[in-house]
Structure 1
């Protein structure tokens, strides 16, 4: 609604009108300042994505054109193991800074200690004692180091009970509020148990330290861990946490989700995958191509946001995923 000068005087809203203009100008200035700051941090203007180029099979001379297109979350940098490494890989300071010291990483809030006051109810035939600190939890040395790099000082209530439950081979159903550390609660014990066995259990994969040739080095992805989540946002969040907790280990995480180019995700799988995170639809798409993905090595199956995933809308997809691996006979299921 517009108000002219005479109406301003008549209704006595002159000061209000001036204030509205000032607020509008201030808001525009803030937007410009925020945009300038975002550009300084490396953010760019939104642009259309060329899905046809990404999903097409590469043709001679085509690869150079792909480098100008923006990256997807599934292509995020991860620790790449080399055959020359011993039991623990060397530090990668550049990757370490990216994984653990980025200014956008979530950190514990000022009232984090209040989480310890949360009452935990556990229903089980044999309840393991909750862990009070990560150093005494029986975790692999690499995992303990990664936890310190993540800045985790002490287990949250859900972690204190979930870690010993998984380490002792129990199935687990966990319910906790958002922000209570559920993702780390299932990733820490699962990845820790596999770190010392990866060479024995993992499928063959190329030595990425010598580069990767799509025509020569592709393998079938045979993950040891399958994590199913309902949305791509949640899947990529779990993937980011897995990248941190798999650091300096042989375990290689991958993520697949709808809305992203299948070719890029396929190539990541065919470089080798030990920890696979994904949405049901895209996981099933790759399962229909057994030369790309097989779940016969799966030791742990994790269903995140189970209250949504177990809804009837997901019943068909989840049944197919659960029948694709050997998890049910090995008592290694986690539902959160």
Structure 2
């Protein structure tokens, strides 16, 4: 998805209402400058604020100023302020597709997906010839598993804005996720021909390189994307790239940055926990997996990951609690049963361990850890 706002015709910005105090053109320039690219949000906020404090504007211009300031707050990741400003913009102009779109982005990034989807719908209703809200709505449709409708929206965004490289880049992300790499490459080439070359472009190119196994090329692209608010997941993907190249130290360093930049993101702790486990730092892994579970992911997979890390860290009583919970959710999963068997063995509960090892082997004959367990216990 692209998370970009709808542009407003420049001519609309200078039509002050009768009796209003004139606002300098530079204020409008500052207010709107860089909003699509996420550039200079502080200057944009200051310009918009000067307009709003400078005197009475007609309702349309007031809505525009609040809408632009909302967009700049989104780019600063100050989402509560953004939503308040977009609320105000919509109060002044109920037909502002621009404000609905930016508020939708704020809701989207704060995981209020139903509210975001509703706002994108309204943005499309009031700005039906703009491709941007179609592209943003497509992201939620895809997340909900409605791939067919998502592609329809992506295609619509490209059809409405064929000279906007962002639309092509956004659709390329869809094709990458769908493993349609030739189509993704074609869309990225089109985006590049239209001048797309920002961090989001580098990030998307990196994702394509990573997906097709060209890890060195991916690393170069992610190097250009990390640290930009336009590519918030670049540290995660560069970490995965380092891991694919067997550079676990660098992978962990980027995973730390992923956690630092997105402390509310479950995937950040899950990924770092897996890296810790792969480097046999099970104490650290168990801490991260515990955070994931505390944040709401109590899947059998995650419970099993925590149980195994606690077992490897020698915390067997705690490990058993999570191993048993995982088993309740996935009693036919050989890996879950194998974990509980190891914990039973460590706790001296030999017969229960043998029983679980046998169940695991029956479900997954190639599971060598369970076969070795039976051999250790003389029950092969």
With the length of structure 2 as denominator, give the TM-score of the two structures.
0.23
Structure with higher Rg: it is 2
| Structure with more of its chain in helix, by fraction | 2
Structure number with higher relative contact order (C-alpha < 8 Å, ≥ 6 residues apart): 1
- From the two aligned structures, give the one with the greater strand fraction: 1
